[in-house]
Amino acid sequence: MSLSIKIHANSEINRDELISFLDLKINDLKLIQKTEDLFYFYVAEKSLRGVDFEKQKNTYEILRLSMFSEADELICRQIFLFAQQTQEDCKFYLDDEPITFDDLMNLPLVDFKDDLRSIQLLASQLGKTISFYGPLEKFHFGPKVFSKIDTEKEGWENHLVDIAYRVLYELKDPSGDYVLSAGEGENMKLVKMINSETSYVIRKFDYLIFLTENETEDEREIIAVTNEDLNNFLPDSWELADEYTIVAPALSPVEYRQLVKKLIPFDQSNELAEKD
């Protein structure tokens, strides 16, 4: 569950001073400026969700998200502390209800276990997959993830947190981040080409492109499949790290042809062509 926290200030918060303050308080703090009035903070290797800090006139909003880590909580609290110390008669609101500074600073940490229990029910009973935006990547929990976890065993939630950190920070695509796009505006789709004899970390895309094997290069055709369809035919050497993210060591030409043959019935390249 997400909570909206708003800071009502009598004057504009100096963003350079805020950033300097946070840098002194938090090790390995990173900043991404999304727009002129929207900043995103996270702690390298420790944040699961990161923190958006958005200016709206003299009101500033922070979203306290589900799956927040302690590092994300720390960023929030240091922003509250900076506002309290630098703004006269600063007021705080939790989901549009007034809250004192002391009560705000003493809010209990986000209980990710409650979030994960709800996600587990959605995944197991309804077959739903829940995706979370992290600092640089997304992580995904769904039926395939939960089928490998004994949710009757105490502490199972910690295993999911380990999965999230691995997907966000440990898995790097050795092939690079080369991504193609098809279509424009709201119809734009992101696609990734998968070749033989190349290792990948395959993340969630609208389509994944494979090449059929014909007698000559000129006769080779593409097929476009979804992550959902690919995940039903993973080679033995490939590992599903979460619901969609695949650790995919290079396939030999023979292994690649075998995989493509299985995927051909699920080809959606005609739909992809319509996006161009």
The tens digit of pLDDT for each residue in 73-120 reads 999 999 999 999 999 889 999 999 999 999 999 988 777 778 888 889
Task: Note the pLDDT of residue 133.
Answer: 94
Task: Note the pLDDT of residue 45.
Answer: 95
Measured CA to CA, the distance from residue 16 to residue 109 in angstroms comes to 28
pLDDT at 219 over 70: no
Identify the weakest region by mean pLDDT among 96-110, 202-216, 248-262. Answer: 202-216
Angle made by CA atoms 212, 216, 221, in degrees to the nearest 5: 30
Task: Note the pLDDT of residue 56.
Answer: 87
The tens digit of pLDDT for each residue in 141-173 reads 999 999 999 988 998 999 999 999 999 999 998
Task: Note the pLDDT of residue 5.
Answer: 96
Nearest Cα to Cα of residue 209 among 263, 265, 140 = 263
Residue 216 pLDDT grade (very low, low, confident, very high; cuts 50, 70, 90): low
Measured CA to CA, the distance from residue 103 to residue 264 in angstroms comes to 58
Nearest Cα to Cα of residue 241 among 130, 166, 146, 133 = 166
Give residue limits of the domains in the chain: 3-105, 112-168, 180-275
Two tokens, residue 95: 């989901």
pLDDT at 217 over 90: no
Please name the residues in contact with 137: beta carbons below 8 A apart, sequence gap of 6 or more.
167, 168, 203
Nearest Cα to Cα of residue 141 among 169, 112, 177 = 112
CATH number for the region 3-105 comes to: 3.30.310
Average pLDDT of the residues of the chain: 90
Measured CA to CA, the distance from residue 156 to residue 265 in angstroms comes to 37
Identify the weakest region by mean pLDDT among 21-30, 42-51, 217-226, 241-250. Answer: 217-226
In 150-229, the DSSP E strands lie at: 180-182, 189-193, 200-202, 207-211, 222-225
Please state, for a pLDDT cut of 70, what percent of the chain lies above it.
94
Cβ pair 209, 193 in contact under 8 A:
yes
Measured CA to CA, the distance from residue 42 to residue 60 in angstroms comes to 18
Residue-wise burial string across 222-240, b where 16 or more C-beta atoms lie within 10 A, e elsewhere: ebbbebebbbeeebeebeb
Name the pairing type of β-strands 189-193 and 207-211: parallel
Nearest Cα to Cα of residue 118 among 241, 104, 110 = 110
pLDDT at 20 over 70: yes
Cα separations (Å) of 157 from 33, 46, 116? 32, 17, 7
Task: Note the pLDDT of residue 184.
Answer: 72
The more confidently predicted of residues 274 and 11 is 11
Residue 1 pLDDT grade (very low, low, confident, very high; cuts 50, 70, 90): low
Mean pLDDT of 126-130: 89
Mean pLDDT of 214-229: 79
pLDDT at 262 over 90: yes
